[in-house]
Structure 1
Amino acid sequence: MWIGWNEFDILLGDVHSLKSKRSVVRPIVAEIRKRFQISVAEVEDAELYQRTRIGVSLVSGDRNHIAETLQRVEEAVAQRPEIELLSSKMRLVQSTDF
C-alpha cells in the first residue's frame, strides 16, 4: 500500500479578513475534493489572512497513480488566478516503511 500527500503553501493576495479568506479557500478545497476524489483540508495558517496551507492525501496500491494524481492537483492549484502557489511538498511512502 502506498500513501501520498502534498502540502501547498499559498499566498491569497488581497484578503483582509477571515471571512474573505474563507471565500477564497473553500472553493479551492471543494474543487480539489470533487475533481480528484481525494482527501483535502486547510491544515495550517488558519489565523492568517493572506496565507494558507492546504493538504491533500490519498492511498493506493499503485505508486504511479498517486504521483500522477498529486502532480495534477498541484498543477490545478498553481493555475488558479486568485492565488499564488509559493511552495509544494510532496511525499510518497509505502506502508512497510512504518
Structure 2
Amino acid sequence: MFVGTLRLDLLLGDVHSLKAKRSVVRPIVAELARKFGVSVAEAGALDLHRRAVVGVAVVAADARHCREVLESCERLVAGRPEVDLLSAQHRVLRPEDDLAAVEDAYPDGG
C-alpha cells in the first residue's frame, strides 16, 4: 500500500476577508474530494486572506496510481481561474517508509 501526499500553495484572487477566502477554498476542497476520492483539507496559511495551503492525501495499491491521482488534483486546481498555483509538492511513501518521512517532507507542518 502506498500513500501519496500533495501540498498546494495557492494565491487567491480578489479576497479581502477570511469569509471570502472560505468561499473560494471550500468549493475547491469539496470538488477534489468528490471527483478523486482523496482526503483533502485547508492545511496552512489559515490566518492570511489571500493565501491558502491545501493538503491532499491518497492511499493506493501502487505508486503509479498515487502519482496519477495527485497529478490530476494538481491540474484541477491549476485550472481554476480564481487561484494561482504558486507551488505543488508531491510525495509518495512506500510501505517501508514511516511517518518520519512525511515530517521530513513537510518540516513546517503543512
Query: TM-score, normalised to structure 2's length?
Result: 0.87
Alignment-derived partner of residue 18 in structure 2: 18
Please, which runs of 5 or more residues in structure 2 have no aligned partner?
A: 99-110
Q: Which amino acid aligns with 2:78?
A: A
Alignment-derived partner of residue 56 in structure 2: 56
How far apart, CA to CA, are the structure 1 residues paired with 2:67 and 2:93? 11
State the Cα distance separating 1:61 from its structure 2 match.
1.2
How far apart, CA to CA, are the structure 2 residues paired with 1:57 and 1:97? 15
Q: Which of structures 1 and 2 has the larger relative contact order (alpha carbons within 8 angstroms, sep 6+)?
A: 1
How far apart, CA to CA, are the structure 1 residues paired with 2:28 and 2:59? 21
Query: TM-score, normalised to structure 1's length?
Result: 0.97
State the Cα distance separating 1:97 from its structure 2 match.
1.8
Alignment-derived partner of residue 83 in structure 1: 83
Partner deviation per Cα, 1:38-88 (whole Å, 9 max, x = no partner) = 100000001000000000001111111100010011000000001000000
State the Cα distance separating 1:95 from its structure 2 match.
2.0
Alignment-derived partner of residue 6 in structure 2: 6
State the Cα distance separating 1:31 from its structure 2 match.
0.5
Q: Where has structure 1 moved over 6 Å in runs of 4 or more?
A: none
Q: Percent identity of the aligned residues?
A: 49
Please, which runs of 5 or more residues in structure 1 have no aligned partner?
A: none
Alignment-derived partner of residue 103 in structure 2: none
Report how many aligned residue pairs link the two structures: 98
CA RMSD of aligned residues (A): 0.6
How far apart, CA to CA, are the structure 2 residues paired with 1:44 and 1:71? 20
